[in-house]
């Protein structure tokens, strides 16, 4: 008997439902039970010999819908901050072998900002030699959003960026802030205008831009924020193939990521524990 694949979404947005999947191969044995755990506490059990087959046990943050759950799937009808944790699937066979296999994975619950980031502190007009000193703030979120500055559509020079500690709220959410400070040069004006934009991202789940602040002779600002809708893994997003249900230290991880069909090629990035993979020891190949 072996556990072929465990599917636990790496992240969901608060309030969304969750599908948990446990594929196994009995290899000739008879199934005794499938048990699901959150942080090592059982919340669902499937036993084919029982009259009801599926049983659920109340656990904070775990909202099982029995009618949509079975031996291979568990459906959580909603999620909140208490849903976050380590989820494990344990499969056991009947006599005479009494084999047991188990795998587990992490699920994170994200809270996205309700509004795009906001730029504050800008003057209506700047001249060459003036100092720009502005601040970008994102709404409360979990985890804290990463904020990036763009000047005339290009990433701002790192020496211009002022990083501040995130503000922690009693609810567990965090507000991010980042400053931008530089002396205006002639090259900073594009056809007489200086364009500032701030973009907030949360891992690979969410991205949203502030309104593009256009400063120049007329000192006008555009009226739209060009927000980019977030994409949750599993909803027409990229698919990862080739994973194993469990890895040990020293094992080789060899997986592929494929984007959904689109008119233009998608830019794919790998993240390990929410950190972008861009250097050795990881090897990335594109096709």
142-173: pLDDT as tens digits:
999 999 999 999 999 999 999 999 999 988 89
Residue 202 is part of which domain span? 118-216
Number of domains in the chain: 2
Is pTM beyond 0.85? Reply is no
Q: How far apart are CA 257 and CA 4, in angstroms?
A: 19
Task: Specify the 3-state DSSP secondary structure of 187.
Answer: helix
Which pLDDT belongs to residue 124? 81
Answer whether residue 244 is part of any domain: no
Looking at the structure, tell me whether residues 151 and 198 fall in a common domain: yes
Pick the last residue of a domain from 199, 216, 233.
Answer: 216
Task: Specify the 3-state DSSP secondary structure of 102.
Answer: strand
Looking at the structure, tell me whether residues 106 and 126 fall in a common domain: no
Q: How far apart are CA 149 and CA 196, in angstroms?
A: 7
Kindly report the number of other CB atoms within 10 A of residue 265's CB atom. Answer: 8
Pick the last residue of a domain from 110, 138, 170.
Answer: 110
Closest of 21, 33, 26 to residue 88, by C-alpha: 21
Domain CATH number, residue 176 = 2.60.40.10
- Asked if residue 281 has a cis previous peptide bond (ω within 30° of 0), the answer is yes
Answer whether residue 61 is part of any domain: yes
Averaged pLDDT score across all residues of the chain: 83
Pick the last residue of a domain from 78, 110, 142.
Answer: 110
Answer whether residue 253 is part of any domain: no
């Amino acid at each position: 008997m072996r556990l072929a694949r465990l599917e636990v979404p790496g992240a969901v947005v608060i309030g969304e439902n969750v599908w948990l999947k446990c594929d196994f191969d009995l290899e000739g044995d008879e199934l005794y039970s499938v048990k699901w755990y959150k942080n090592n506490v059982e919340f669902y059990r499937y036993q084919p010999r029982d009259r009801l087959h599926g049983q659920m046990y109340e656990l904070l943050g775990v909202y099982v819908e029995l009618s949509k759950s079975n031996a291979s799937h568990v459906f959580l009808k909603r999620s909140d901050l208490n849903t976050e944790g380590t989820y494990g699937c344990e499969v056991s066979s009947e006599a005479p072998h009494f084999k047991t296999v188990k795998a587990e994975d992490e699920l994170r619950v994200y809270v996205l900002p309700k509004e795009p980031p906001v730029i504050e502190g800008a003057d209506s007009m700047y001249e060459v030699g003036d100092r720009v000193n502005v601040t970008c703030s994102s709404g409360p979120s979990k985890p804290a959003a990463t904020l990036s500055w763009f000047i005339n559509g290009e990433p701002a020079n790192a020496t211009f960026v002022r990083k501040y500690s995130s503000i922690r709220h009693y609810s567990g959410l965090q507000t991010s802030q980042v400053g931008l400070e530089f002396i205006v040069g002639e090259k900073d004006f594009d056809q007489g205008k200086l364009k500032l934009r701030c973009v907030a991202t949360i891992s690979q789940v969410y991205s949203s831009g502030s309104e593009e602040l256009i400063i120049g002779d007329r000192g006008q600002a555009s009226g739209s924020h060009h927000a980019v809708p977030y994409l949750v893994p599993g909803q027409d997003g990229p698919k990862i193939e080739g994973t194993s249900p469990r890895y040990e230290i020293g094992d080789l991880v060899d997986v592929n990521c494929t984007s959904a069909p689109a008119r233009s090629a998608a830019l794919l990035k790998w993240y390990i524990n929410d950190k972008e993979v861009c250097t050795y020891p990881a090897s990335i190949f594109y096709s």
